[in-house]
Chain A
Amino acid sequence: MPEAAKTIEIEVLRYRPQQDSAPVLQSYLVPFTDDMSVLQGLQHIKDYVDGTLSFRWSCRMAICGSCGMMIDGKPKLACQTFLRDYFPHKLRVLALAHCPIEGDLVVAVDDIVAKLESIKPYIVAKEPRTLQQGEYLQTPAQLEQFEQFSSCINCMLCYAACPQYGLDSKFIGPGVLALLHRYNADSRDGARAERMQIVNAEEGVWSCTAVGYCSEVCPKHVDPANAVNQNKVNSAKDYFLRFVAPKGAAK
């Protein structure tokens, strides 16, 4: 590490389930250079100051979605947030809001992963196709319907931005609903009717109150709020069209 001229104070919310009954803030002084991310600051703490600190990370370049945390109150990826932007003030780092804290900056992901599995996040082919029939063709317009929603990296920043999920975790939530829409909006997919049952439920799109912060914090410009609210229209159509076409998925 090059000689660091500056030192920044990082407050980290610690929670060690073996010894703490509730999370407590712990302060660290970290020497830093202008090119250091918050993640590198935490790595400095773990390597040189306090090896007991827990946090998740992997790629260091905003594509794995592992290092989401609350940095000075905002849900951010630690790898693309820079210490220089907080200096000379201190910064406070907390585990992602609205998720249970497993330990320190690590959150429990069981709930969100189970929800992700429940929406069948893969293309369910409309009809069986033989090799001779060739590949599925798609127009640029059909691609555009789902492309932005396929950029999700499951970093869960949108969940930390969603008060409705924080207030009631039964809500499927922004990220998973955006991925659900990604597959429903794909012209190759045939599982829309099944997924609409999740969309139509109380804990589906109707738990969303259009706060819109999920889209604001998304590091991949997925715009989950748009996916969720487009599906309020789809859900309403699904509900009313059953009177016309009784085979609709609404129950």
Chain B
Amino acid sequence: MNRQAGSARRPYVRPMTGWWRRDPFFVRYMVREVTAVIVALYAIVLMVGAIRLSQGEAAWNGWLEALRSPLSIVVHLVLLAGMIYHTVSWFEIMPKTMPMMFVGGKRIAATTITRVGLAVAALAALALFALAWGLRP
């Protein structure tokens, strides 16, 4: 391979501008990454609630009141959609992040890992919802 100066080679490097719009796969990846911010935003909403709780009953009730506003409901719907997308896309990539697992000498298929992850997430969400429902005043 000729790497010396004066070589006739003139390799052309293409720009990467707008790379993530080039393939639908990259767009889905970017949405997965962006929805991680949504997960963080919702954590902040909950954290504010915890802080308001520590400040006494009036502060706590004010936070609850703020959550009931139409704007807050719209924001929560957007956050919910983002959370669901993030959960699904994360469990889709999860088998790639794990060492090989064997049960009875057979390798567990990637689709099984994804399905188990999604089922556990759905059950946890349902259990939490049932708990919150049961504790209603």
Contact = CB atoms under 8 A, between A and B. Distances in A.
Interface string A217-251: 00000010110011011000000000000000000
Contacts of B8: 17-18
B96 A229 contact: yes
A17 B12 contact: yes
B19 A166 contact: yes
Interface stretch (A100-108, A116-124, A130-138, A196-204): A100-108
Contacts of A97: 14, 22
Nearest to A223: B96
Interface residues of B, number: 28
Nearest to B89: A212
A31 interface: no
Interface in B78-137: 93, 95-100, 102, 105, 107
B10 interface: yes
B22 A73 contact: yes
Contact of A210 (B13, B23, B97): B97
Given A101-B12, A141-B102, A216 B96 contact: no
A52 to B, nearest CB: 15
Contacts of B10: 17
Interface in B1-20: 1, 3, 8-14, 16, 19-20
A143 to B, nearest CB: 12
Interface in B24-40: 25-26, 29, 33
A76 to B, nearest CB: 12
Given A74-B23, A213-B23, 14 more contacts: A17-B8, A17-B12, A23-B14, A108-B9, A144-B100, A145-B100, A163-B20, A166-B19, A167-B19, A213-B29, A215-B96, A225-B93, A230-B98, A230-B100
8 residue pairs, one from A and one from B, having the closest CB atoms: A100-B11, A17-B10, A229-B97, A225-B96, A101-B12, A108-B11, A226-B96, A211-B29
